[in-house]
């Protein structure tokens, strides 16, 4: 472990040789992440350039006595930690310092001094497919960042994907533990079930995919009058619309998932992620005002092709052979469709019931606005590397998805009950009848 760490740090800091400009006028901050089963460790090396060393020293040597005391070292390290954000599956982690080491002031002034900070955080128990997000905003006006992840010592932990923004101040690591391995025998036996579960958890954690689909389905129970959504349509028609949209989206992303997963199509991830955010913005705008009424299935199929390219990145990171990829794509896609059907089945009945009440308009608008703002946040992050809390907010809302579905169902029942009548059947037993023509 120490050998790997030393080698990785040497490579990272090699970019800080005196011949490179950022050693002169920028604050280099290199971070290495190490993921264990119940813990994450981070190793930071901070190297102030000559031109910014005085500003950095002023924030460290607060009493201006020319000596960095132990209290000042600890205080500065705590300030660095305060400017960091570490989250697992949308939950904020509390980091603790494990070691701090400072060079001499003269070394810092010469642009050679390395401030070394190590910290750890305990990971709560969670699913086998996890997403770790690390953000560094310390001294962002004068800093450049480097981030990477060490190969896990635990062979049951497998790094699936790493994503960084342009200046590497934001770093996402997707990894699986225990049930997803790249060994051939696991792909044929335990691996099929493991990758099926990975598909379920991937779509459950991939809020952007579900947000696109749900936003597109928001107006499904409504008819169009002029340039606005109007009265509800019959239930059978709503269900038919929902089925067409879900089927088209499934067909679209299944095609590109298979092609990209087998290595037949290769597209850079950055434009795909931008287009996925754009697809959510389009579906959110359509939920507010009809942009393509009656053609939702076509839009779902088109954007499904794009979503499939993003989903395929998980399969590509497993390092499987061609035949193992075929089995894995099947298992992964089945997991995706299973989770997708669960979410749609849990949310659509309540929305269909609510569509026959005055409560549906604010519910639909709130859902569309939430999806639209999330899409704009993701687009700004992926286009301009702008810092945004959208991931944390969306993941927090998704964490309470079950309770939101239950609340929607209860609200739909409460709003419908005043419109329900009780009739006597022939044998004197009460029978409930919903008084709305759209349910005939």
Q: DSSP assignment, residue 156?
A: T
Of the listed ranges 106-120, 316-330, 418-432, the one predicted with least confidence: 418-432
Residue position matching structure tokens 């600890």 = 74
Which comes out higher in pLDDT, residue 288 or 164? 288
Q: Please give the pLDDT value at position 18.
A: 40
Q: What is the mean pLDDT of residues 232-238?
A: 92
Q: What is the mean pLDDT of residues 362-383?
A: 92
What are the Cα distances from residue 257, in Å, to 211, 253, 282, 319, 422? 19, 6, 22, 16, 51
Confidence band (pLDDT; 50, 70, 90) for 284? very high
Of the listed ranges 104-113, 261-270, 411-420, the one predicted with least confidence: 411-420
Of the listed ranges 110-119, 181-190, 304-313, 375-384, the one predicted with least confidence: 181-190
**Is 429's pLDDT higher than 70?**
no
Confidence band (pLDDT; 50, 70, 90) for 269? confident
Confidence band (pLDDT; 50, 70, 90) for 29? very high
The residue among 93, 273, 21 whose CA lies nearest residue 166 is 273
Kindly provide the b/e burial profile for residues 277-314, where b requires at least 16 CB atoms within 10 angstroms of the residue's own CB.
Answer: bbbbbbbbbbbbebeeeeebbebbbebbbbbbbbbbbb
**Is 358's pLDDT higher than 70?**
yes
Q: Please give the pLDDT value at position 153.
A: 81
Q: What is the mean pLDDT of residues 129-150?
A: 91
Contacts 24+ apart (CB under 8 A), 221-229: 221/351, 221/352, 221/355, 221/360, 222/355, 224/290, 224/293, 224/294, 227/289, 227/290, 228/289, 228/290, 229/289, 229/290, 229/364
What are the Cα distances from residue 27, in Å, to 33, 108, 113, 385? 19, 11, 11, 19
Dig out the tokens for 73 from the structure. Answer: 């070292």
Q: What is the mean pLDDT of residues 131-143?
A: 91
DSSP string, 61-129: -TT-SS---HHHHHHHHHHHHHTEEEEETTEE---EEEEEE---HHHHHTT---EEEEEEEEPPP--SE
Q: How many CA atoms lie within 13 A of 209 on its CB side?
A: 30
Confidence band (pLDDT; 50, 70, 90) for 321? low
Q: What is the mean pLDDT of residues 434-438?
A: 38
pLDDT per residue as tens digits for the range 403-428: 888 888 888 878 766 555 443 444 34
Q: Please give the pLDDT value at position 191.
A: 63
Q: Please give the pLDDT value at position 418.
A: 59
Phi, psi for residue 232 in degrees, rounded to 5: -70, 150
Specify whether the CB–CB gap between 364 and 219 falls below 8 A. yes
How confident is the prediction for the chain on average, in pLDDT? 81
Which comes out higher in pLDDT, residue 143 or 199? 143
The secondary element (H helix, E strand) that includes residue 20 is none
DSSP string, 201-265: HHHHH-HHHHHHHHHHHTTTTEEEETTEEEEEPPHHHHHHHHHHHHHHHHHHHHHHHHHHHTTS-
Q: Please give the pLDDT value at position 17.
A: 41
What are the Cα distances from residue 406, in Å, to 44, 196, 350, 357? 44, 26, 9, 18
Q: Please give the pLDDT value at position 357.
A: 85
**Is 230's pLDDT higher than 70?**
yes
Which comes out higher in pLDDT, residue 396 or 50? 50
Q: What is the mean pLDDT of residues 135-156?
A: 89
Specify whether the CB–CB gap between 354 and 414 falls below 8 A. no
**Is 368's pLDDT higher than 50?**
yes
Burial classification of residue 268, based on how many CB atoms lie within 10 Å of its CB (0-12 exposed, 13-18 middle, 19 or more buried):
exposed
Which comes out higher in pLDDT, residue 401 or 53? 53
**Is 205's pLDDT higher than 80?**
no
Confidence band (pLDDT; 50, 70, 90) for 78? very high
**Is 92's pLDDT higher than 80?**
yes
Specify whether the CB–CB gap between 398 and 415 falls below 8 A. no
Specify whether the CB–CB gap between 369 and 284 falls below 8 A. yes
Rounded Cα distance, 386 and 374, in Å: 13
Q: Please give the pLDDT value at position 317.
A: 57
Q: Please give the pLDDT value at position 389.
A: 80
């Amino acid at each position: 472990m120490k050998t790997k760490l030393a080698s990785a740090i040497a490579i990272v800091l090699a970019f800080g040789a005196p011949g490179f400009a950022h050693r002169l006028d920028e604050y280099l901050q290199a971070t290495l992440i190490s993921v264990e089963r119940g813990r994450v460790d981070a190793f930071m090396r901070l190297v102030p350039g000559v031109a910014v060393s005085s500003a950095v020293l002023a924030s460290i040597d607060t009493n201006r006595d020319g000596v960095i005391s132990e209290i000042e070292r600890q205080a500065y390290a705590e300030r660095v930690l305060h400017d960091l954000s570490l989250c697992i599956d949308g939950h904020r982690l509390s980091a603790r310092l494990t070691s701090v080491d400072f060079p001499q002031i003269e070394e810092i002034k010469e642009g050679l001094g390395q401030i070394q900070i190590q910290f750890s955080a305990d990971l709560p128990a969670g699913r086998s497919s996890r997403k770790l997000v690390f953000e560094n905003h310390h001294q962002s006006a004068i800093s450049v960042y480097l981030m990477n992840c060490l190969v896990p010592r635990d062979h049951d932990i497998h790094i699936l994907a790493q994503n960084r923004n342009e200046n590497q101040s934001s770093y996402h690591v997707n990894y699986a533990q225990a049930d997803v391995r790249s060994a051939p025998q696991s792909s044929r036996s335990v691996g099929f079930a493991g990758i099926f579960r990975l598909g379920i958890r991937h779509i459950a954690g991939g809020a952007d995919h579900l947000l696109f689909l749900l936003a597109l389905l928001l107006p499904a129970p409504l008819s169009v009058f002029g340039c606005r959504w109007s009265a509800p349509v019959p239930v059978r028609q709503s269900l038919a619309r929902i089925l067409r949209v879900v089927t088209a989206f499934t067909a679209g992303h299944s095609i590109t998932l298979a092609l990209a997963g087998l290595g037949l199509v290769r597209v850079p991830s950055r434009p795909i992620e931008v287009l996925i955010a754009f697809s959510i913005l389009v579906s959110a705008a359509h939920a507010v005002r009809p942009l393509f009424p009656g053609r939702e299935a076509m839009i779902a199929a088109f954007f499904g092709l794009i979503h499939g390219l993003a989903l395929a990145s998980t399969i590509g990171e497993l390092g499987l052979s061609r035949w193992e990829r075929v089995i894995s794509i099947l298992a992964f896609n089945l997991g995706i469709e299973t989770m997708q059907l669960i979410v749609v089945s849990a949310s659509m009945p309540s929305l269909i019931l609510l569509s026959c009440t005055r409560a549906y308009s604010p519910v639909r608008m709130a859902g569309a606005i939430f999806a639209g703002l999330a899409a704009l946040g993701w687009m700004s992050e992926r286009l301009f590397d702008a810092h945004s809390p959208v991931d944390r907010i969306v993941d927090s809302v998704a964490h309470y998805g079950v309770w939101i579905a239950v609340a929607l169902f209860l609200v739909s029942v409460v709003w419908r009950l005043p419109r329900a009548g009780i009739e006597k059947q022939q044998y004197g037993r009460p029978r409930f009848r919903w008084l709305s023509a759209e349910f005939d």
